Amino acid sequence: MEKATRQQLKKQNRDLVLKIFFETAQISRAEIARMTGLTRTTVSDIVADLVSEGLVNEVGIGVSTGGKSPILLSLVEDAHTIIGLDLAYNQFRGAVVDLRGQIRNVISLPVSDTTGSQAIEAALGILDQLVSSEKDSLIGIGVGTPGLINSEDGVVVTAVNLQWKSLPLGKILSERYKLPVIVLNDCQAAAMGEFKFGETLPASRNMIVVRAGHGIGAGVIIDGKIFQGDGGSAGEIGHVVMLKDGGQLCRCGKTGCLETLASVRAVVQSAQNRLENGETTCLKISDLPITVDRMVEAYQARDRMVVEIIDEAGKFLGGAIAILVSTLNIHHIILMGEMTRFGDRWLDVVYQTMMKSTLPHQGRDTHLHTGTLRDNDVILGASALLAGNYALLMRQPSP
């Protein structure tokens, strides 16, 4: 066999074994051989390498199935760490994540009205602190940001909220910290986070995560990988025009986008407008500004006006999800973002509309759940992508 091919095969086998360590809590060499189809000798050699790399260690003795009791091995979760950074609306959040997705050392920074170079400085401020706390074990930085992203080049093509255009964020960070950096769309990162660490795992390796908060977007996971589309923006459903006539102006410049109908911003604005028009609602009682908190309370108290607003928003979202379901026929849909605070009733409106707008056999098999990771979805997803690049985990360069 050619040397290059042999080395390639060796790397493939190592990755196969590492994948099993990531996916199991404890496992024996014999079990790995059974699961991978590799010989016991090959598995033992690979495990010995991983032990000497400090990535895997022996953790105990398993139950015997006849012969000698097997030695159990496990991934050393803090062998390496990754920094995940979520450049969310209103708040930048960075954290150190270990190889099992456990989060520590979170730094949050409120950033309303922070844009342009100020926003870059804010992100660097968080990263400076986290990088200096972790120097030796760090293998990279994963960033999730709203907007249209060219992940291959690490460029933020456009992020309206942050007023970034053609920003080479990946290059700026990798030059400053001398580490591998990945930059990806926040919804795509969130989807990867839910896929890897969420509580409701799909039976298939496919999943769609729809985030409805200040903005709306989706991340699509196909066969365990983020599907970005030809231009990197697969899942950008927030700016599909859902209302042809009389729609509100969107931040993208068009009118009637999904975001102007089903986002948190849209429902608060709608409540504000209807209140000013003199409608009867329990929101009238106080002079306090209308917030999501107050609207959630009013929705639970079945305030007629608020119920109308939230149910309508849910219907528009359900209609948009029906298009995704019809196009991709993915059964596992996770809803995330601040709109999920409106709870089961809102979720049911979204679900019923999705059902009505798809063919019966497509809708019937589709499950809608709310996400479980809350604020950490983007951080976990962005860092999981780096941890999944096994070559980065090796102290010795890959063969």
Residue with smaller CB distance to Zn ion, 256 or 318: 256
- Residue 307 C-alpha from the chain's centroid: 29
* Residue number with CB closer to Zn ion (142 or 256): 256
Residue from 131, 78, 43, 142 nearest 389 by CA: 142
Q: How far is the CB of 144 from Zn ion (least distance, A)?
A: 20
Q: In the bound complex, what is the minimum distance in angstroms from residue 257's beta carbon to Zn ion? A: 3
Residue 73 CB, shortest distance to Zn ion, in Å, is 51
**Crossing angle between the packed helical segments 304-328 and 264-276, to the nearest 10 degrees:** 150
Other CB atoms within a 10 A radius of the CB of residue 281 amount to 20
Report the residue number, 171 or 254, with the smaller CB distance to Zn ion: 254
- Give the shortest CB-262-to-Zn ion separation in angstroms: 12
Nearer to Zn ion, 29 or 265 (CB): 265
Residue 36 or 248: the one with the smaller Cβ distance to Zn ion is 248
Residues contacting 88, CB < 8 A, separation 6+: 146, 186, 378
Q: To the nearest whole angstrom, how small is the minimum distance from the Cβ of residue 266 to Zn ion?
A: 11
Max Cα-Cα span within the chain: 81
Write the DSSP symbol of residue 241. B
Q: Which is nearer to Zn ion, 127 or 149 (CB)?
A: 149
Assess contact for 221 and 195: CB atoms under 8 A: yes
Q: In the complex, which residues of this chain contact Zn ion (CB under 5 A)?
A: 239, 250, 252, 254, 257
C-alpha distances in Å from residue 251, one per residue of 164, 173, 211, 214, 238? 14, 28, 17, 11, 11
Smallest separation, CB 15 to Zn ion (Å): 41
Q: By C-alpha distance, which of 336, 360, 327 is closest to 350?
A: 336
